[in-house]
Amino acid sequence: MNLSRIFRTIFLVEFIFGLYLAIKELFRKSKTINYPFEKGPISPRMRGEILGL
């Protein structure tokens, strides 16, 4: 067993990194919108609704 593997096992490096990512995402602004009440940006090239094939 090499030294770096022992270090990662003792200090739970992957677990700490995953916990850090989860906490960072917790405080990030939401990427979703409340659809019926908020509409997303419409492209200026949009000329109507998309028709099915």
Tokens of 41: 């940006």
Angstrom distance (rounded) from CA 30 to CA 20: 18
**Secondary structure of residue 41 in the 3-state scheme:** coil
The count of C-alpha atoms lying within 13 angstroms of the C-alpha of 31, restricted to the half-sphere facing its C-beta, is: 3
Closest CA to 11 of 21, 3, 22: 3
Give ∠ CA 37-35-28 in degrees, rounded to 5: 105
Mean pLDDT, the chain cut into blocks of 10 residues (53 residues total): 80 90 91 77 71 57
Q: What is the pLDDT of residue 53?
A: 52
What pTM value is reported for the model?
A: 0.52
